[in-house]
Amino acid sequence: MATLELVDVSVTFGGLRAVDALSFSVADGSIKGIIGPNGAGKTTLFNAISGIVRPQAGRVSLAGRDMTSMPPHARAALGLSRTFQNLQLFSQMSVLENAMLGVHTRLRSGWPSGLFGLARHEEQFAEAVAYQKLQMLGLEGRAGELASDLGFADAKLLEIARALASEPRLLLLDEPIAGVPLSDQDRIARIIRDVNAAGVTIVLVEHNMRMVMNLCHDILVMNHGACLAEGTPSSVARNNEVVAAYLGSEATHA
């Protein structure tokens, strides 16, 4: 069964069709890569999947459950988790607390038990999970610092730790290694592979072709909000249209 399924999803901003009648599905336990030139609509697509923007048309479902009209927090409760390309950390909270936010959907306590300190077990659980994820990304030594004190690369790692702390069913990663030093890139790729091996379905937006080709089971190429090609890494790499749209635009950038 498909973990994620999109049917004819369209998102428009004024006159601009950022996502144009896009349909695709992500198989259980797979890693799907989404590539395309800047402005192809990749981040808008992520926002439509996670509920931050409402598509004007189409349907988005997670594990067979239609979540098109659900707000983002309800989608998170269904097992969806994501990172942000432009970093959305809670800057006035500690690194540990940021990661603890990732555990939010796995806890139940509310205001009354919060005020009266009645959820010790849950808190200890949240701390332990958060710390474990920080260790996984090599951030445990900075647990007590403010998130705003992290450098760009560490902030990216913290976004991943926070997203993993929810033990998601589906993980959306928006350019996880952009701006990260080479030494950390391989580690992040390894973590993504391990997380996937543990059963998490992943959708990955990334410009680093080597990473996409190595990690992804299949790839969707977007251009102008629509699907240009879809298939295995090798078939996509051989596709002439893709080479023209993608390498062509790369060439003009260089």
Partner 1 sequence: MSAPPNPGERRLPSLGDAQGRFASPCGAFSPAAQSRQRIRHVGLVWLVLAAWPFVAGNDYVLSLGIFFFINLLLIAGLNLVMGYGGQISLCQAGFFGLGAYVSGSLAVKYGVSPLLGIVAALAGTALAALVIGLPALRLRGNYLAMATLGFNAILSVLFNELIPLTGGPNGLAGIPPITVAGYALDTAGRFFWLAWLAGAVLMVLLAMLLASRAGRALRAVSGSEVAAASMGVSPFRSKLAAFMFSAACAGLAGALYAHFNQYASPETFNFSASVLLVVMVALGGWGHYWGPLFGAAVFTAVPELLRQFQDAEFLVFGVSMLVVLLFLPAGIAGIAQRLRERGAGRAARRAV
- Strand 201-205 vs strand 31-35: parallel, antiparallel, or unpaired? parallel
Piece of 3-11, 16-24, 84-92, 204-212 that binds partner 1 (CB under 8 A) = 84-92
Distance of CA 86 to the CA centre of its chain: 12
Determine which residue in the list 8, 13, 16, 120 makes contact with partner 1, applying CB under 8 A. 120
Q: Which amino acid is at 46?
A: F
Contact 222, 36 (CB under 8 A): yes
Query: Mapping DSSP to helix (H, G, I), strand (E, B) and coil, where does residue 178 land?
Result: coil
Determine which residue in the list 56, 69, 88, 214 makes contact with partner 1, applying CB under 8 A. 88
Q: Which amino acid is at 151?
A: G
- Nearer residue to partner 1 within complex by CB, 27 or 78: 78
State in angstroms the smallest separation of the CB of 109 from partner 1.
5
- Nearer residue to partner 1 within complex by CB, 37 or 55: 55
Determine which residue in the list 20, 24, 84, 175 makes contact with partner 1, applying CB under 8 A. 84
- CA–CA distance, 26 with 6 (Å, rounded to integer): 9
Regarding 146 and contact with partner 1 (CB under 8 A), the answer is no
Regarding 96 and contact with partner 1 (CB under 8 A), the answer is yes
Piece of 107-115, 173-181, 224-232, 234-242 that binds partner 1 (CB under 8 A) = 107-115
Regarding 45 and contact with partner 1 (CB under 8 A), the answer is no
What's the chain's length in residues? 254
Regarding 100 and contact with partner 1 (CB under 8 A), the answer is yes
Dihedral sign (CA 209, 232, 19, 193): negative
- Strand 80-82 vs strand 65-66: parallel, antiparallel, or unpaired? unpaired
Buried b (16+ CB within 10 A) or exposed e, 175-200: bbbeebeeebbeebbebbeebbeeeb
Regarding 105 and contact with partner 1 (CB under 8 A), the answer is yes
Place of tokens 């004007």: 56
Regarding 229 and contact with partner 1 (CB under 8 A), the answer is no
Regarding 126 and contact with partner 1 (CB under 8 A), the answer is yes
List contacts with partner 1 (CB under 8 A).
Answer: 50-52, 71-73, 76-77, 81-82, 84, 88-94, 96-97, 100-102, 104-107, 109-111, 113-117, 119-129, 131-132, 135, 140, 143-144, 162, 166-167
